[in-house]
Structure 1
């Protein structure tokens, strides 16, 4: 089971680092203005579809390996999940028409706005789902539609996690985008906004902890009582001045690594304080990896499929990145 959990966590981390940055690119375009539209479209164009492989892996692992987690999520949080999926579809459709349509007319403006708005809605509701499973407002014994399907996610904490997710994704997109442009004006603009977003992400993180206490979740105590979570938070904090130095010195690859490292540290701390609980419930036992796991025979088949699939998919993903992005990694001074 631990190997399955490893693949699940790895898939989530990769989806945030790659797919999340794609969503952040839409938000970044809205922040920095249409002057960067072509740069952003050129950067994510070759790889945006491939990044959803990680989300598909998450769904498959939960469906086969931990069916109770999957069924609980899709039942009690079906509204934010549906909105998130609609955002994914609308965003992908808009980007395809905006980027590949042979005729550039007024409809391109509409597609661009759909792309931007969907890039905000999708990570917002992804974060809302994450906040809802941690808060513990899911009530299997609820007798009303509101208590069963609205109250678990319509609260300050869940939305604060959603806001943090948007900012994190946008920050990652900005750090990655620094190495995508050859225009000196855009380069400086991305550097400045990266520092700003990094600072805002810290402020939004404080908002998450504050809203958790407001909604009755002792998140601060959970972190303080976990040495690993404290270590990850301290690591992410100490990376901030190093990241800003690398941005000042225009160390493109190092900046990307440090930005991704901060995101990974934040996610690992979150995973650690929750383990082994996946979904906290009100009026019922919490759902953990251990009380929701599929039979051993299913786990072995899933693990075999994940290993074989990784051997097939990962080399091709690496080749895709090498073909379209390889030239950018030759020198930090390019």
Structure 2
């Protein structure tokens, strides 16, 4: 029964990352876009995420409910000892949603539009960053429930190199997903080429920060390599992710965008399998 619940939990996390993560990634893409191209990027992005951006948080709610009902001890530990990054993440979600509404639907286009744009862009970066930091904190086992001082209990539990590396890795994955999705939403060839370059940039960043995750895990004694390479499911995910990465780059360079969304989704799914399932099954 525990495995069934864990599978539903992983599915909710995966869907939130694939859908909500791509929404966050749209703001990240805008952050790394030159000022002269931001208006075009913003227009394409608004058309793509406008109808569905709010619904994606349903998967986050499902994740929280599953943790609260099925794993109350984990829920309590996270909500108490990780309350700082959780609060920052939630503030980012609220700020991002508010800014998106005002900049997209505000009838008066004045100087406040620039304020809304900045709030949207930076909250789109901060939110997945701290989402990844929270995930890294849980994976690393750095939460010290026996700590007697504030810093050890509520700061060092998440402020470490491994958690930060996971956070940056999460940011680049969100940006990568958004770039891939926006390629399909672009009608002009110029826009498609721009998003293809962004996808390549974010994918390189994901590889670099992914390597940083393993490096930080090694130096901070997080048994990540053991989880990944001594588990059949995770090892298979590593092999498939590596092979699909080559195919993904081939399709990007050739400009064949029809299957990129599916392939990018499978790529992120395999990364989730590689990191999350071995850990969760071990804990269960």
| Cα deviation code 1:42-97 (max 9, x no counterpart) | 11111000101100100111111111111111011011000000000000000000
User: What's the counterpart of residue 188 of structure 1?
Assistant: 193
Local SS of the residue matching 1:253 = coil
**2: distance between equivalents of 1:218 and 1:143?**
26
User: Does residue 1:226 correspond to 2:204, yes or no?
Assistant: no
Shift of 1:111: 0.3
User: What's the counterpart of residue 203 of structure 1?
Assistant: 208
User: What's the counterpart of residue 302 of structure 1?
Assistant: none
**2: distance between equivalents of 1:251 and 1:213?**
38
Stretch of structure 1 that moved more, 110-119 or 26-35? 26-35
Stretch of structure 1 that moved more, 221-230 or 162-171? 221-230
Contact 2:27 2:125 in 1 (8 A): yes
**2: distance between equivalents of 1:198 and 1:5?**
29
| Alignment counterpart, residue 116 of structure 1, candidates 113, 118, 121 | 121
User: Does residue 1:88 correspond to 2:93, yes or no?
Assistant: yes
Shift of 1:26: 0.2
**2: distance between equivalents of 1:232 and 1:164?**
17
What TM-score results when the alignment is normalised by the length of structure 2?
Answer: 0.95
Equivalence map 1:2-21=2 (5 Å): 2-21=3-22
**2: distance between equivalents of 1:165 and 1:67?**
26
Shift of 1:276: 2.7
**1: distance between equivalents of 2:253 and 2:229?**
33
User: What's the counterpart of residue 26 of structure 1?
Assistant: 27
**2: distance between equivalents of 1:234 and 1:276?**
20
In structure 1, the gaps of 5 or more residues are 278-287, 290-334
User: Does residue 1:273 correspond to 2:278, yes or no?
Assistant: yes
| Alignment counterpart, residue 152 of structure 2, candidates 142, 147, 152 | 147
Contact 2:227 2:275 in 1 (8 A): no
User: Does residue 1:105 correspond to 2:110, yes or no?
Assistant: yes
Stretch of structure 1 that moved more, 20-29 or 268-277? 268-277
**1: distance between equivalents of 2:180 and 2:213?**
23
Shift of 1:266: 0.4
Equivalence map 1:34-45=2 (5 Å): 34=38, 35-45=40-50
Stretch of structure 1 that moved more, 232-241 or 216-225? 216-225
Give the total of aligned pairs: 279
**2: distance between equivalents of 1:41 and 1:112?**
12
Shift of 1:246: 2.2
Local SS of the residue matching 1:182 = coil
| Cα deviation code 1:151-177 (max 9, x no counterpart) | 110111000000000000000000000
**1: distance between equivalents of 2:250 and 2:214?**
28
**1: distance between equivalents of 2:258 and 2:65?**
33
| Alignment counterpart, residue 242 of structure 2, candidates 230, 237, 240 | 237
**1: distance between equivalents of 2:277 and 2:53?**
29
**1: distance between equivalents of 2:224 and 2:4?**
27
In structure 2, the gaps of 5 or more residues are none
